[in-house]
Structure 1
Amino acid sequence: MTEDIERASRAELRELQSKRLQRTVRHAYENVPRYREKLEEASVSPEDVETIDDVRELPFTTKADFRAEYPDGLFAVDDEEIRRIHASSGTTGKPKIVAYTADDLEVWNEVMARSMRAAGIDSNDTVQNAYGYGLFTGGLGFHGGAEALGANVVPTSSGNTQRQIELARDLGSDAIGCTPSYALYLAETAEEMGVDPRELPISTVLYGAETCTEPMREEIETRLDATGIENYGLSELIGPGVAVECHEAQDGLHIWEDHFYPEVIDPETGEPLPEGEEGELVLTSLSKEALPVLRYRTGDMTTLTYEECACGRTMARMDGVTGRADDLLIVRGVNLYPSQIEDVVLEFDAVEPQYRIDLHREGNLDRLDLTVELAEEFDGDRDELREDVLVRLESALSFTPDELEFVEYGSIERTEVGKVKRVYDHR
């Protein structure tokens, strides 16, 4: 598809969506046993899908489906057709495994290039990519999109903030891709280095992967003297590249509806909500081959509008996500789960399997304090233990807490019934 699709009439877009939904449902029905079972339970056959409106008759897909079919039960193609595997970290152990065919990767690069173009990036720009590379889709998603656009990519990945600043200055990076909190941390670090962050060549911050309020965006733009553009995506659908703000209006995120069909539902009843009413975002893939996804409940709360944007694009726009349903912690650009911190800390015999995480907001930055209980027989040096734990956390997770405190055995509250509470969010 060319740029013309971004400004197609609703009738033209609807016709394309209907054809692609028909093909997607048939593909899922014929090649994914779980979808065949779910569709039959809902008394829906591929022949029943005639227009995009029929999407409402399809069953929902949830994180539970990915867990139940781990690792590849939702794949719709044979292994020889798969060209890449990514994974989304699992909150309860197993990650969600996602796959891509060669055509899927081409679509991914296309929607990411489209997103960057909407953000005001062009082939003459240098894009510094500070998203993490690896199984996480962020790094390679932004990398592939920038290359497809014809831009120069600097694959710095996450972390190494002083080096990020030096490279941005020395290489003349026009844009940087990172989380919003990391963008502020970058500015903070630059100031500590004696570098005025406003003097860096960065003119666009392509941020995503965590909630960003308007005051936080304003601070990013002020501190870096740059335009902040929000990106949205999730591994289950493709990765980043599902939706993006345009630099012309910065008024909601354009969902690339030719590839991802959006709905907003009441999270309690599952019923579709009218335009402008806040609810849970549901997305259906319309062109995925390796992993077609029908009505995926993202857990993200937002609204939809179908008014034509001031930039001229006609695709639906979603508001910024106001909340998330999972327990992912994103602190200064690092994604992690409490279980990952626990795995590292409990490598040390000097501590008990009792800890707590306290989250605070200082200004527009998140702060994470970690409290760990010492083993009953511990008689060593706390400062030495603290240094060892911090080094191990940095090595394993590229992360260290803002404060690490050790307390005496028995100090942390236990629970006898129900789930133990580990995370205390004071924000």
Structure 2
Amino acid sequence: MIWNTEQECMSRGRLEELQLERLKWTVNRVYNRVPHYRAKFEKLSITPEKIKSLVDLKCLPFTTKDDLRGNYPFGLFAVPQREVVRVHASSGTTGRPVVVGYTANDLNTWTDLTARMVSLAGVTSEDVAQIAFNYGLFTGGFGLHYGLERAGALVVPVSGGNTERQLMLMQDFGTTVLISTPSYSLYIAEVAEKMGIDISSLKLKIGLFGGEPWTEEMRSEIESRLHILATDNYGLSEVMGPGVAGECACKCGHHIAEDHFIVETIDPETGEVLEPGQEGELVFTSLTKEAFPVIRFRTKDISRVTQDPCQCGRTTARMRKIIGRTDDMLIIRGVNVFPSQIESVLMTIEGIGPHYVINVHRRNFLDELEVVVELTREDLLEPYSKLEDFSGYIRQKLHSVLSINVRLKIVQPGTLERSAGKAKRVFDYRNQTAK
């Protein structure tokens, strides 16, 4: 098991000394090597010499995804291209992808941090780890792969999809650790049941999940159906990839690798820095990256951070599971709605599967929220009167949490699309012509 007690258990005072030293190094690096950052600093009359304490971090400008896309592909690299040994990129579904680069030393640091993260969850050299993340420009597959190897695990790089083959390999190789999106793990359980495979006969014991937000209710569903400890990990390509933060077996927050990243929580509307424990948008600054350092990157992820030591003995700050994103929040007739709120309700209702879709329409100039849910059994479709009562019960439960009325559509088992990658759950049609 990889546990760097010197870095993960240091005092807050010693940690902040290390962060300041590394912050000064990073600010000097971007100011002298990245024209984009130098221009933003000079616009605010900031020079590296003005960074004298961690409090001065709030004087630095934010970095957004638009900044990264505007410098596509290599405009934010802080080293010559000959020193970059690998690139990764975001999916680019909403425009140009964000391209990030790594020096050989960056890759070594990334591997160390991912090994630290999987060890948090209990992975050791005795484990067989099956990766069901897609490999390629997405950071998840490669990021977890090398970290698991450094932690000593036997790695099975299956990649995503081909679920029956995934299950065959779990049986034949004695897989103990599953790496995937949380929604795909439930699909694996569903296929196993259809194939007549007794999940309890597998050797699975740990799930390392990421790539999409998920609720505590979904965690409980995964743990009960797969008979595993389900842990969440957090990472962004823009910051590094997986390894930025992850859960230990206590499951009371993601331990942040604070010796390599400074995290702030801000008010997403004003940009004001909030106190530890207050809910807001997470902002990350890298401290040790050579090729692609980032200053105050706005993640759009909503969470809260605590600096209280964990029961496991680690003293690094912990962030709560992501409850939503500022760009995923839906405003329906003046009410703020996060998809995670809807999931938390649906996952507590017996007879409803873990797969759902949220559609937003505008009819007669009014916003309308529709939730499509999937039954777990065909017999729940009859009689019609009982289905109507069930539908009313679900709508009432949603209304009690959201404070708005919701249109509900119930579909047969197996109707909604499954995905080996990030599940697409929200479809906003308000900018299209209403039919």
Distance verdict in 2 for CA 1:421–1:106, change over 3 Å:
farther
- The letter for the 2-side match of 1:79 is Q
4+ aligned runs moved over 6 Å, structure 1 = none
**Superposition pairs of residues 281-360 of structure 1, within 5 angstroms:** 281-326=282-327
Distance verdict in 2 for CA 1:421–1:60, change over 3 Å:
farther
Structure-1 separation of matches of 2:51 and 2:433: 45
Structure-2 separation of matches of 1:87 and 1:221: 32
Match of 1:19 in 2: 21
Aligned-residue offset at 1:275: 1.6
Structure-2 separation of matches of 1:66 and 1:215: 35
Structure-2 separation of matches of 1:138 and 1:314: 26
Match of 1:111 in 2: 113
Aligned-residue offset at 1:366: 3.3
Match of 2:217 among 215, 224, 227: 215
Match of 1:265 in 2: 266
Aligned-residue offset at 1:150: 1.6
Alignment size in residue pairs: 352
Superposed CA RMSD? 2.5
Aligned-residue offset at 1:323: 0.5
Matched residue SS, 2:300: strand
Match of 1:365 in 2: 355
- The letter for the 1-side match of 2:223 is E
Match of 1:125 in 2: 127
Structure-1 separation of matches of 2:105 and 2:327: 30
Aligned-residue offset at 1:91: 3.4
- The letter for the 2-side match of 1:180 is P
Match of 1:343 in 2: none
Structure-1 separation of matches of 2:101 and 2:23: 20
CA contact (8 A) 1:254 1:318 kept: yes
Matched residue SS, 2:15: helix
Structure-2 separation of matches of 1:324 and 1:199: 38
CA contact (8 A) 2:101 2:291 kept: yes
Match of 2:432 among 398, 414, 420: 420
Match of 2:374 in 1: none
Match of 2:184 in 1: 182
Structure-2 separation of matches of 1:165 and 1:226: 15
- The letter for the 2-side match of 1:258 is D
Match of 2:88 in 1: 86
Distance verdict in 2 for CA 1:160–1:327, change over 3 Å:
farther
Distance verdict in 2 for CA 1:106–1:151, change over 3 Å:
same
- What's the CA shift string for 1:104-152, capped at 9, x where partnerless? 1011000000001111001121110111100000000000101111211
> Which stretches in structure 2 are left out of the alignment for 5+ residues?
330-345, 360-416
Matched residue SS, 1:127: strand
- The letter for the 2-side match of 1:295 is R
Structure-1 separation of matches of 2:93 and 2:70: 14
- What's the CA shift string for 1:322-375, capped at 9, x where partnerless? 1124569xxxxxxxxxxxxxxxxxxxxxxxxxxxxxxx9953223599xxxxxx
Matched residue SS, 2:325: coil
Match of 1:256 in 2: 257
Structure-1 separation of matches of 2:356 and 2:27: 42
- What's the CA shift string for 1:195-247, capped at 9, x where partnerless? 02222111000001111111100110110110001000000010111100101
CA contact (8 A) 2:268 2:326 kept: no
Match of 1:205 in 2: 207
Aligned-residue offset at 1:421: 7.5
Match of 1:140 in 2: 142
Q: Percent identity?
A: 50
- The letter for the 2-side match of 1:162 is E
CA contact (8 A) 1:91 1:327 kept: no
Structure-2 separation of matches of 1:148 and 1:212: 27
CA contact (8 A) 1:305 1:316 kept: yes
Match of 2:165 in 1: 163
Distance verdict in 2 for CA 1:421–1:70, change over 3 Å:
farther
> Which stretches in structure 1 are left out of the alignment for 5+ residues?
329-359, 370-392, 403-413, 423-427
Aligned-residue offset at 1:84: 0.3
Matched residue SS, 2:262: strand
Structure-2 separation of matches of 1:398 and 1:179: 7
Structure-2 separation of matches of 1:165 and 1:368: 30
Segment drifting more, 270-279 vs 85-94? 85-94
- The letter for the 2-side match of 1:56 is K
Structure-1 separation of matches of 2:265 and 2:45: 23
Matched residue SS, 1:27: helix
TM normalised by structure 1 equals: 0.78
- What's the CA shift string for 1:302-335, capped at 9, x where partnerless? 000000000011111000001124569xxxxxxx
Structure-2 separation of matches of 1:365 and 1:120: 29
Distance verdict in 2 for CA 1:164–1:367, change over 3 Å:
farther
Structure-2 separation of matches of 1:18 and 1:153: 37
Aligned-residue offset at 1:26: 0.4
Segment drifting more, 360-369 vs 219-228? 360-369
